[in-house]
A and B are shown apart, each in its own frame.
Chain A
């Protein structure tokens, strides 16, 4: 009876709890419906962790804007919650501490130096010569040598949403890495298929900001891939604006407007992918951004931006108990303690009287054996065997 009274009270007065549970629309009046809706939304995307692989493939000072592009996406992704351990950042050259940079340890995205995207807390996993096609493909497929540290690996599983961002100089069907090699769209599509077969991603968002970027996603054939590019085939992606104090172009147009769009997103926002597709129309970008969603299973309108750019921590409750073992007692055995001394840094007398190290004896190799055989043959031929006893 009492419970029924409480229930009736809440049901009639639920309008007094506005936005308490984020309920909106027609669901507000019915509390249980609202719970179900929230719970449904919570589990609809199906992913439990987020990863990001951000790659800048260009070297040299005049490609400052590509590094600024990558760092601005890095900054947004970190701000929205993905930790450094889940971000693989690859920068092919160092612009911040480059000797041509008039303001060291900074990379700006806007003229008048408004926003320093390099910041004070940045961890670059692959820098300089390590940014190669081979390393990029190895990160994606997970086939790295066993001594690779954790921060350089993409340790995703089948419930991870991965964001991949590439920028640099590209063409119809390829992307140039550091002026010396290229990755083709076929290789990229095959790498994603390997990832799908190894169950290394749940959903993948691929963004590319290069000239003729749409050609890079033409060949994808694995499920759950969504792709965005800054320009169509036959079009060039243009840079935004130069800064006269630094002397180079600071950012590319597409990423500039993407950064502007992402600055308005916060971890709880509900903006979806359809808004992302509208970023940088032709009037602002000069090139036509493109996107591809036919391989994606969900409707883009129901995919939140934070599904890829933010970090979700989903918790699964368990009622099992675990028994902790007793701590191991440290042995108290007395070892004999020998006297330690600091080593002499330059023991001159020892060095002068040092005996040379005994080199290991190796059996003579083929060359030496062949040479001696030749000498003996010539000798025997010249002098004949019967004269040997006179010589020896």
Chain B
């Protein structure tokens, strides 16, 4: 039932150009939007904006020419000798079992991973300054990142760097506004016009991220250029936002329509995932488009309808309204089950001890694969590593590599990395007991009864793939399929984040100092004070003052020299 046509890339190049896009030229600025209807009835939309910048920081000359690359980020990279930077802000939790794997995974809250150049000597000081600068750029509370919640993993994130998976952060329009201002066209033209905060935040999942890294310019990879990717992933729940009918359009989702592509973008495309709609039985697109594309993404070959916004014919008479009467039939449950899935929760009772359980599911029927689990637990949960157990299918499963760095109170958090082999079709459970610490009273937040957050665990793995992955990393590919470079054809790299945990620490009564002072002062004033007065006061008898007549008589008697009455 082959029904897809490979996109004829050469046909859109005007005559006279050098050749097809598959060769060495890499477009400097690309934007794309991928829309994927999910089996649970939600719509997953993913925006990606990519800007390339040809410059070399390893030489000493100061860079001062910025065209499409935002100056604020360029100055950050050059000043702090950054080799790679990934920052993401997410609100909501990605439900892997219902929605599948995301194109770009991100944990709830804020996450910042940085790789520095080898020439940098003072990493701690630079890290502190970098987090402050980024907190100013993105209007986020990243300045709470310091050594107490930063880790340097030894194996998990390659290349080696410093990272921080922070606790809970609320993501709102004030984070979106500076993010939009970094785009070359701002929010005035192209796909960024659709980014209206009222609709974007009324969703089940919202994640925006900025990734800066060096990429190969050509096949031989002798020179590199800087790539800035800005991604925005949103999952809309159309039932929740009052849609009711099984029909959606760009206007209904974003309350905006598209009228033109960004003028500085060399490529501006919308991809709609129609793999489940091969014969057109589930939905239909309007206006219809003849362009189709196939891509291997997340171990699966998917088919996409493509709308190219740089072509004028896409826009038709009505401004690009896509209407889809979606009817999900009963057999929609046979979506590709995600091969790797993880959950985490806190067990136990009371405010002294507890247990962290991490469950990792391997849903492949006959292949096992290794996963690397990275756990960064704050210092106020004191982990007892001797109680660490890893069991699969009821039997003990010894990890082939464990790296544990114990915490130091108020200096650094726990770091636990383990390489575990997951047997096929099984659940692996990792349990760890902990004890809660009592903080100093100034270390409590203004709302301590809310609890304290423990960041998500990160599970990285090379999952076997059904479809052969494309290992030629310099070819021109849609952005969503080219983020993690593949080294081999039989597996692809997947990163899964678990839920963050909310743990209650024993909270003192903050009104206690006030009450103690009041009580003590009352006791001192009333008890001791009255006793002191009784012992030290001397009493004198005082005549009451005489009436007016007597006073006048006394004055006359004084004048006469006679003693008073």
Report A's interface with B, CB cutoff 8 A. 59-60, 94, 96-98, 103-106, 118-125, 127-130, 145, 147-152, 178-180, 328, 330-331, 335, 337-348, 351-352, 354, 356-357
Stretch with Cβ within 8 A of A (4 or more), from B214-222, B313-321, B523-531 = B214-222
Q: Once the chains bind, are A149 and B202 in contact (CB under 8 Å)?
A: no
Q: Which residue of B lies closest to A131 (CB)?
A: B446
Residues of B within 8 A of A345 (CB): 158, 460, 462, 484-485, 487, 493
Residues of A within 8 A of B202 (CB): 103-105
A64 to chain B, nearest CB (A): 14
Residues of B within 8 A of A147 (CB): 128-129, 132-133
**B interface, size bucket:** 35 or more
Q: Which residue of B lies closest to A347 (CB)?
A: B158
Q: Once the chains bind, are B174 and A127 in contact (CB under 8 Å)?
A: yes
Residues of B within 8 A of A340 (CB): 214, 216, 221-222, 224
Q: B241-277, CB under 8 A of A: which get 1 and which 0?
A: 0000000000000000000000000000000000000
Residues of B within 8 A of A104 (CB): 198, 201-202
Q: Once the chains bind, are A106 and B133 in contact (CB under 8 Å)?
A: no
| The one of B132, B155, B224, B445 that contacts A129, using a Cβ cutoff of 8 Å | B445
B66 at the interface (CB under 8 A from A): no
A340 to chain B, nearest CB (A): 5
Show 26 A/B contacts (Cβ-Cβ < 8 Å), sorted by A: A94-B170, A96-B172, A96-B173, A96-B201, A97-B173, A98-B170, A105-B172, A123-B139, A123-B174, A125-B139, A127-B141, A145-B132, A147-B128, A149-B136, A149-B137, A179-B447, A335-B59, A342-B473, A342-B487, A343-B159, A346-B370, A346-B372, A347-B158, A348-B419, A351-B419, A354-B403
CA distance A103 to B242 in the complex (A): 12
Residues of A within 8 A of B384 (CB): none
B130 to chain A, nearest CB (A): 9
Q: Which residues between 440 and 483 of chain B lie within 8 Å of chain A, taking CB atoms? A: 445-447, 460-462, 473
Report B's interface with A, CB cutoff 8 A. 59, 61, 91, 128-129, 132-133, 135-137, 139-141, 143-144, 154-155, 158-159, 170-174, 177-178, 196-198, 200-202, 214, 216, 220-224, 370, 372, 400-401, 403, 419, 445-447, 460-462, 473, 484-485, 487, 493, 510
Q: Once the chains bind, are B221 and A341 in contact (CB under 8 Å)?
A: yes
CA distance A158 to B159 in the complex (A): 49
Besides the known contacts A127-B141, A331-B61, 20 further A-B residue pairs in the complex with CB atoms under 8 A apart: A60-B447, A96-B201, A97-B170, A122-B174, A124-B139, A127-B174, A128-B170, A149-B135, A151-B139, A178-B446, A179-B446, A337-B222, A339-B220, A342-B485, A342-B487, A343-B159, A344-B487, A345-B487, A346-B460, A356-B403
Residues of B within 8 A of A347 (CB): 158
Residues of A within 8 A of B137 (CB): 149, 151
Q: Once the chains bind, are B141 and A357 in contact (CB under 8 Å)?
A: no
Q: Which residue of A lies closest to B223 (CB)?
A: A337
Q: Once the chains bind, are B171 and A120 in contact (CB under 8 Å)?
A: no
Q: Which residue of B lies closest to A344 (CB)?
A: B487
Residues of B within 8 A of A122 (CB): 173-174, 177
Q: Which residue of A lies closest to B169 (CB)?
A: A128
Q: Once the chains bind, are B91 and A180 in contact (CB under 8 Å)?
A: no
| The one of A121, A130, A330, A354 that contacts B401, using a Cβ cutoff of 8 Å | A354
A230 to chain B, nearest CB (A): 24
Give the interface centre of A121, A178, A346, A356 by most chain B CB atoms within 10 Å: A346
Residues of A within 8 A of B487 (CB): 342, 344-345
- Supposing A148-B132, A354-B401 touch, asked if A343 and B158 sit within 8 A by C-beta, the answer is yes
Residues of A within 8 A of B133 (CB): 147, 149
CA distance A340 to B223 in the complex (A): 8
CA distance A273 to B447 in the complex (A): 40
Q: Once the chains bind, are A121 and B447 in contact (CB under 8 Å)?
A: no
Q: Once the chains bind, are B198 and A127 in contact (CB under 8 Å)?
A: no
- Supposing A59-B447, A96-B172, A179-B446 touch, asked if A348 and B370 sit within 8 A by C-beta, the answer is yes
Q: Once the chains bind, are A105 and B136 in contact (CB under 8 Å)?
A: no
CA distance A341 to B400 in the complex (A): 27
Q: Once the chains bind, are B172 and A121 in contact (CB under 8 Å)?
A: no
Q: Once the chains bind, are B201 and A105 in contact (CB under 8 Å)?
A: yes
CA distance A343 to B214 in the complex (A): 11
CA distance A328 to B63 in the complex (A): 11
Residues of A within 8 A of B173 (CB): 96-97, 105, 118-120, 122
Residues of B within 8 A of A328 (CB): 61
List 8 tightest A-B contacts by C-beta distance, closest first: A149-B136, A97-B172, A105-B201, A342-B485, A147-B132, A178-B446, A337-B222, A124-B174
CA distance A151 to B133 in the complex (A): 10
| The one of A149, A151, A180 that contacts B510, using a Cβ cutoff of 8 Å | A180
Q: Which residue of B lies closest to A337 (CB)?
A: B222
Residues of A within 8 A of B220 (CB): 339
B491 to chain A, nearest CB (A): 9
Residues of B within 8 A of A339 (CB): 220-222
B122 to chain A, nearest CB (A): 13
Residues of A within 8 A of B158 (CB): 343-347
B482 to chain A, nearest CB (A): 11
CA distance A129 to B223 in the complex (A): 44
CA distance A104 to B205 in the complex (A): 13
CA distance A129 to B446 in the complex (A): 7
Q: Which residue of B lies closest to A118 (CB)?
A: B173
Residues of A within 8 A of B216 (CB): 340, 342
CA distance A104 to B154 in the complex (A): 40
CA distance A124 to B403 in the complex (A): 40
CA distance A211 to B223 in the complex (A): 64
Residues of A within 8 A of B200 (CB): 105
Q: Once the chains bind, are A351 and B155 in contact (CB under 8 Å)?
A: yes
Q: Once the chains bind, are B446 and A121 in contact (CB under 8 Å)?
A: no
CA distance A91 to B171 in the complex (A): 14
Give the interface centre of B170, B446, B461 by most chain A CB atoms within 10 Å: B446
CA distance A356 to B155 in the complex (A): 11
CA distance A147 to B136 in the complex (A): 10
| The one of A96, A103, A152, A352 that contacts B419, using a Cβ cutoff of 8 Å | A352
Residues of A within 8 A of B144 (CB): 129
- Supposing A59-B446, A346-B493 touch, asked if A351 and B171 sit within 8 A by C-beta, the answer is no
- Supposing A348-B419, A351-B155 touch, asked if A152 and B136 sit within 8 A by C-beta, the answer is yes
Q: Which residue of A lies closest to B442 (CB)?
A: A180
Residues of A within 8 A of B132 (CB): 145, 147-149
Q: Which residue of A lies closest to B198 (CB)?
A: A105
CA distance A150 to B196 in the complex (A): 27
A178 to chain B, nearest CB (A): 4
Residues of A within 8 A of B59 (CB): 331, 335
- Supposing A59-B447, A339-B222 touch, asked if A123 and B370 sit within 8 A by C-beta, the answer is no
Q: Which residue of B lies closest to A152 (CB)?
A: B136
Q: Once the chains bind, are B141 and A128 in contact (CB under 8 Å)?
A: yes
CA distance A118 to B175 in the complex (A): 13
A40 to chain B, nearest CB (A): 40
Give the interface centre of A328, A338, A340 by most chain B CB atoms within 10 Å: A340
Q: Which residue of A lies closest to B178 (CB)?
A: A123
CA distance A129 to B447 in the complex (A): 9
CA distance A59 to B445 in the complex (A): 12
Residues of A within 8 A of B198 (CB): 103-106, 120
CA distance A97 to B91 in the complex (A): 9
A49 to chain B, nearest CB (A): 20
Residues of B within 8 A of A59 (CB): 446-447
Residues of B within 8 A of A129 (CB): 141, 144, 445-446
Residues of A within 8 A of B473 (CB): 342
CA distance A328 to B62 in the complex (A): 10
